[in-house]
Amino acid sequence: MSERDVFEYALLRVVPRVERGECINAGVLVYCRAKSFVAARTHLDEGKLLALDPGADVAGVRAALRAVEGVCAGGAAAGQAAHDDAGRRFRWLIAPRSTVVQPGPVHTGLTADPAAETERLLDLLVR
């Protein structure tokens, strides 16, 4: 059996009308300190979003989700966060905010492959 490391994850939720509190899951953030790994994978179900709010800014939501993926990837796409380590980028992304794209609570688990775990969680909890 391969070595397994602790990882943390949080769902990305889209809350098109914050005052109503209704949301759909649109992505997952995964962080594994032992592997200096942070990643976000997203999938926006436009039909579900528009069912909650027919006037939702779909393009704006997609741009916000891409921005989260960019921060996780690092490099030029991460902007000022490009120089931060994986842990700082994850902590910044999971900080509570009152916007349309919000992080959910942080959960933990064990994994031998954080990248595969990211895909598994996206399939299980978002798609």
Q: Is the pLDDT of residue 60 over 90?
A: yes
Is residue 61 within 8 Å of residue 26, measured between CB atoms? yes
Res 19: pLDDT: 86
Per-residue pLDDT tens for 72-110? 887 777 677 777 889 989 998 999 877 899 999 999 999
* 126 — pLDDT class (breaks 50, 70, 90): very high
Res 107: pLDDT: 98
Is residue 38 within 8 Å of residue 86, measured between CB atoms? yes
Res 10: pLDDT: 97
User: pTM of the predicted model, to two decimals?
Assistant: 0.90
- DSSP letters of 3-53? --EEEEEEEEEE-SSTTT---EEEEEEEEEGGGTEEEEEE---HHHHHHH-
Q: Is the pLDDT of residue 1 over 70?
A: no
Domain count, the chain: 1
Per-residue pLDDT tens for 22-59? 999 999 999 999 999 999 999 999 999 999 999 999 99
Q: Which domain holds residue 20?
A: 5-125
Chain-centroid distance of CA 31 in Å reads 10
